[in-house]
Structure 1
Amino acid sequence: MSATLYACGAAALAALAAAGERPPASGPLRIHPANPRYFADASGKAVLLVGSHTWNNLLDMGAADPPPRFDFDAYLDWMAKLNHNFIRLWAWELPSWDPSANNQSWSQRKRYFAAPQPWLRTGPGNALDGKPKFDLAKLNPEYFERLRTRVEAAGKRGIYVSIMLFEGWCMQFIADAWANHPFNPANNVNGVNGDPNGDGKGLEIHELAVKAVTAVQEAYVRKVIDTVNGLDNVLYEISNENHPPSTEWQYHIIRFIKDCEKSKPKQHPVGMTFQYKGGSNKTLFDSPADWVSPNPDGGYRDDPPPADGRKVVLNDTDHLWGIGGNAAWVWKSVTRGHNPLFMDPYDGLILGGRFEARFEPVRRNLGYALRLARRLDLAAMTPQGALASSKYCLAAPGKAYLVYAPDGGKVTVDLSAAKGSLGIEWLDPKTGKMEKAGAVQGGAPRELAAPFQGEAVLVLTATGP
């Protein structure tokens, strides 16, 4: 696609933004046939996915019972202002739990609650928490109506949503997790027992160890698919940070989703994320998933390796820091061909502080990166670290170069593949301001100097056809 067409597209997006509107998310996403580091939308254009996600954006969570309702519309407004286009929509398998396992700041909060859950609590009889037992044969309409409504609302705002189906961290690290899980035989009327070895942990629910458990999970996943299959902005994630023995179970659910969607109007990408603790990135890349979120091994936190296209990589701070990240990580990820995501404390209700200012650079630079990606022919651009002295360069050699200079100052870019001149623009990650700086002639390595102090992002685009 020509630079002129991309400029027209960027102008249209800018006009929509100025009017307070965003185009609907275009999809379903599919792996880009020419550049599998990215997904392609319905038009075939490569899409960079960036965004902030937070724990209670699907289930309400909090110390009250019932917990306070999450303001999803306000969340979408906030995402739009930041120019983000991706949400990781969180699952949580426990209706209540002791929150002290996660963070010391939770230690004074004796109990947290999450609602709604995917199954109805009908009884007869009470579960260990004193409420009616779950009937695992009866899915909860409220849960699936909320799921559909929120994914649909996000899509209208141009935001893609990865639906997390299961949550594995809680079962490993929350002391009373098994006592509160619906698959505990004391908590359901169906006689389902997800802890056949009786160790009080119930990790087997994510291991294909109990056929009755797998059947309930498959029925739930099938209902999720039926609920959202007609939407264009859907992705799936099997489970957050499940334990390494969950590998075959996760592979099974990935294949199950793909098999279910074969006969449906739309097919959506399926992802697998870091297995905590002790998981291997190789397990992710060997999986049948379309996209993955790795752990820090291999440099994904401090010096991300160049994406090679084996999978679309959603490089998520959740699996790199827990809560953390910085602007440098955003640009290192982008120039190495990854899609950066931020685990955001947001309003501080679950973890961290309320809209912590220290994370504003991460949030804002995610939006700046998407702004630039929409201007460029991303499908033609690949990691080309050897072309820049900083080693951070995403390029379509001869046509476009996106270079990150962590220390700012001067950076040398090898423009040998460029036959004519290229326009020069600098982005200041501190402010988001773009500054044009004339043009540079191609045909040889060229040294360019940032016009401001500190880290800098350089954009070079061919001025000819």
Structure 2
Amino acid sequence: MRLILLCLSFCLWISGPSKSIADQPDRIRPSETHPFYWQSKGQDVLLLGGSKDDSLFQIPDLEAHLDEMKSVGANYIRNTMSDRHDFGFELYPFAKLENGKYDLDQWNDEYWARFEEMLKLTQQRDIIVQIEVWDRFDYSQDKWPPHPYNPKNNINYTEKESGLASAYPKHPGQNLQPFFFTTPQQRDNAVVFQHQRRFVEKLLSHSLPYGHVLYCVDNETNGEEAWSSFWQSFIQAAADKADRSVCITEMWDDWDLAGPQHSRTLDHPDRYTFVDVSQNNHQKGQKHWDNFQALRTRLLNQPRPINTVKTYGADNNKFGHTTQDGISRFWRHVVGGAASARFHRPGSGLGLSDPAKAAIQAARKLESVVRLWDVTPANSLLRNRDADEAYLAIAPGKAYVVYFPQGGDVDITLEGPQPTQPNSKWRVRWINIDTGHWGPTADVQATKQLNLVAPGKGNWCAIATPKS
């Protein structure tokens, strides 16, 4: 009876909102003219970001942190709905009773007030939010024993009734947690599923009225396809009935973008509006670029935005990455045609540290001269190039953008309509990515081949455009 009532209340809710918000043209969606990129408020937009946490709605100084992002050109955050208590200020979404247990049928209003506040503050600042509904790390190892869904901690079900044990000590990547097998197409565990569904209904009651929200089902999952497709369909159905347009994806754990997990997203453009390839950011150097370009090529017949909401890389992180890894991954994706790039939280990534700020500011300087959706990756036109030395995107005859991770000296074969006289001039502007500042500018002559030598070591971007 309880499940029937929940379903009835959900149906009443999703039929309720007016069409005024849904009909607004400013809801985020793939660009009509450049479908590898996003469109917001009717304008194409490149999403860039970096933040100090992932469940950003939980942090106590959210407004100041958003202002700090905005000041350096960031317009994109990741918001996991995670509730694990990493720093002590996080809250669970459920009400805690006097006996110390949780009631999964009652909300912790402060959790949802924080979520609503995050949505309002980001909307006011034109910052796009990418939500992850489920995070496997919340439900295993040391995060599971205190969690409200753990049967020993709530009044709603027992271990026997729920099929959930009191401990799951192994890494969640082994996919041993029955929490992720509850949907009707899987084990049809109605005892637990009714509470999961109620949670997502509540989430959507807050988020669907806002037009600046993207939806990702999971954080780096290697779970069953049925779990992901169910929640994608659930979110989409709720949005359709509420007359809201939404964009949904799944983030797979496989570090190999050619792996079968990613085909679940790539082969279903009808289901997944965009792609998230954050786990490619475990790759390095030339392989990092090549894997991304292979996936982008695979999407050429049906282009969709390709997001990277987590860019790993910081000195001494647990994966053995460096700060240079983080900056170069971010910039390879920017020049390589990604719709979004965001530095992962500190510990695993650069967050909103000074190097991250400089990299974002440098990307915005590039945008002030060349829009990234107007150029196409074209490394085949580089000559005298070593592996991982330089990366090129072009608008033939109009603009050539080159990223140098560690300085360098390369030649570009000029292609397409362009000045052909021996004294044809090109203006070359340099951006120092490590400082976020403009570097030198020079006018050079070139007809068929343009030589570029970075002003120094470190991360540099060159922009070559015809000089009239």
Counterpart of 1:314 in structure 2 is 307
Which one of the candidate residues 163, 167, 184 is aligned to 1:200? Answer: 167
Question: For residue 341 of structure 1, what is the amino acid of its counterpart?
Answer: R
Which one of the candidate residues 160, 173, 182 is aligned to 2:128? Answer: 160
What is the CA–CA distance in structure 2 between the aligned matches of 1:356 and 1:136, rounded to whole Å? Answer: 33
Counterpart of 1:149 in structure 2 is 117
**3-state secondary structure, aligned to 1:245:** coil
Contact 1:250 1:272 in 2 (8 A): yes
Counterpart of 2:376 in structure 1 is 382
Following superposition, the deviation at residue 299 of structure 1 comes to 3.7
Counterpart of 1:215 in structure 2 is 194
Counterpart of 1:181 in structure 2 is 147
Question: For residue 315 of structure 1, what is the amino acid of its counterpart?
Answer: T
Following superposition, the deviation at residue 366 of structure 1 comes to 2.5
Contact 1:120 1:135 in 2 (8 A): yes
Which whole-Å deviations, capped at 9, do the CAs of 1:254-308 have from their partners, x for residues lacking one? 2211111113343232232243799985423422332313424894676323233
**3-state secondary structure, aligned to 2:156:** coil
Is residue 66 of structure 2 the alignment partner of residue 72 of structure 1? no
Contact 2:252 2:279 in 1 (8 A): yes
Change (3 A) 1:281 1:76: farther
Counterpart of 2:105 in structure 1 is 137
**3-state secondary structure, aligned to 2:65:** helix
Counterpart of 2:76 in structure 1 is 86
**3-state secondary structure, aligned to 1:273:** coil
**3-state secondary structure, aligned to 2:151:** coil
Q: State, as a whole percentage, how many aligned pairs show the same letter.
A: 21
Counterpart of 1:369 in structure 2 is 363
What is the CA–CA distance in structure 1 between the aligned matches of 2:394 and 2:51, rounded to whole Å? Answer: 26
What is the CA–CA distance in structure 2 between the aligned matches of 1:182 and 1:294, rounded to whole Å? Answer: 29
Q: 5+ residue gaps in structure 2? A: 1-24, 169-175, 266-270, 384-388, 420-424
Is residue 189 of structure 2 the alignment partner of residue 229 of structure 1? no
**3-state secondary structure, aligned to 2:56:** coil
Question: For residue 412 of structure 2, what is the amino acid of its counterpart?
Answer: V
Which whole-Å deviations, capped at 9, do the CAs of 1:376-401 have from their partners, x for residues lacking one? 23333222111234551122222222
Change (3 A) 1:93 1:143: closer
Change (3 A) 1:75 1:298: closer
Counterpart of 1:461 in structure 2 is 465
Following superposition, the deviation at residue 438 of structure 1 comes to 4.1
What is the CA–CA distance in structure 2 between the aligned matches of 1:231 and 1:434, rounded to whole Å? Answer: 36
Counterpart of 1:433 in structure 2 is 437
Change (3 A) 1:246 1:121: farther
- State the TM-score, normalized to the length of structure 1: 0.74
Following superposition, the deviation at residue 333 of structure 1 comes to 1.9
Question: For residue 217 of structure 2, what is the amino acid of its counterpart?
Answer: I
The aligned runs of 1:28-427 (5 Å cut-off) are: 28-55=27-54, 57-60=56-59, 70-94=60-84, 96=85, 113=88, 115-122=90-97, 126=99, 131=100, 133-172=101-140, 174-175=141-142, 177-191=143-157, 196=163, 198=165, 200-201=167-168, 203-208=177-182, 209=187, 210-242=189-221, 244-275=222-253, 282-287=260-265, 288-289=271-272, 290-296=274-280, 299=283, 303-305=288-290, 306=293, 307-308=296-297, 309=299, 311-317=304-310, 325-326=323-324, 327-338=327-338, 339-345=340-346, 360-373=354-367, 375-389=369-383, 390-420=389-419, 422-427=426-431
Question: For residue 121 of structure 2, what is the amino acid of its counterpart?
Answer: A
What is the CA–CA distance in structure 2 between the aligned matches of 1:449 and 1:149, rounded to whole Å? Answer: 48
Change (3 A) 1:224 1:316: closer
Change (3 A) 1:30 1:425: same
Contact 1:423 1:462 in 2 (8 A): yes
Contact 2:337 2:373 in 1 (8 A): no
Contact 2:214 2:248 in 1 (8 A): yes
What is the CA–CA distance in structure 1 between the aligned matches of 2:434 and 2:42, rounded to whole Å? Answer: 33
Which deviates more from structure 2 when the two are superposed, residues 196-205 or residues 133-142? 196-205
Q: 5+ residue gaps in structure 1? A: 1-25, 61-69, 100-111, 346-350
Change (3 A) 1:414 1:58: same
Question: For residue 39 of structure 2, what is the amino acid of its counterpart?
Answer: A
Following superposition, the deviation at residue 113 of structure 1 comes to 4.0
Is residue 449 of structure 2 the alignment partner of residue 445 of structure 1? yes
Following superposition, the deviation at residue 228 of structure 1 comes to 2.1
Which deviates more from structure 2 when the two are superposed, residues 330-339 or residues 418-427? 418-427
What is the CA–CA distance in structure 2 between the aligned matches of 1:428 and 1:367, rounded to whole Å? Answer: 10
Which deviates more from structure 2 when the two are superposed, residues 81-90 or residues 388-397? 388-397
Following superposition, the deviation at residue 336 of structure 1 comes to 1.5
Counterpart of 2:5 in structure 1 is none
What is the CA–CA distance in structure 2 between the aligned matches of 1:222 and 1:39, rounded to whole Å? Answer: 26
The number of residues matched between the two structures is: 398
Change (3 A) 1:197 1:424: same
Which deviates more from structure 2 when the two are superposed, residues 440-449 or residues 293-302? 293-302
Which whole-Å deviations, capped at 9, do the CAs of 1:27-72 have from their partners, x for residues lacking one? 4221224433321223242423333351452225xxxxxxxxx211
Following superposition, the deviation at residue 77 of structure 1 comes to 2.3
Contact 1:382 1:394 in 2 (8 A): yes
- State the TM-score, normalized to the length of structure 2: 0.74
Following superposition, the deviation at residue 422 of structure 1 comes to 4.3
What is the CA–CA distance in structure 1 between the aligned matches of 2:285 and 2:36, rounded to whole Å? Answer: 18
Which deviates more from structure 2 when the two are superposed, residues 274-283 or residues 149-158? 274-283
Counterpart of 2:7 in structure 1 is none
Change (3 A) 1:51 1:213: same
Question: For residue 462 of structure 2, what is the amino acid of its counterpart?
Answer: L
Which deviates more from structure 2 when the two are superposed, residues 49-58 or residues 392-401? 49-58
Following superposition, the deviation at residue 311 of structure 1 comes to 4.7
Which deviates more from structure 2 when the two are superposed, residues 312-321 or residues 266-275? 312-321
Contact 1:46 1:379 in 2 (8 A): no
What is the CA–CA distance in structure 2 between the aligned matches of 1:51 and 1:414, rounded to whole Å? Answer: 35
Question: For residue 415 of structure 2, what is the amino acid of its counterpart?
Answer: S
What is the CA–CA distance in structure 2 between the aligned matches of 1:318 and 1:356, rounded to whole Å? Answer: 9
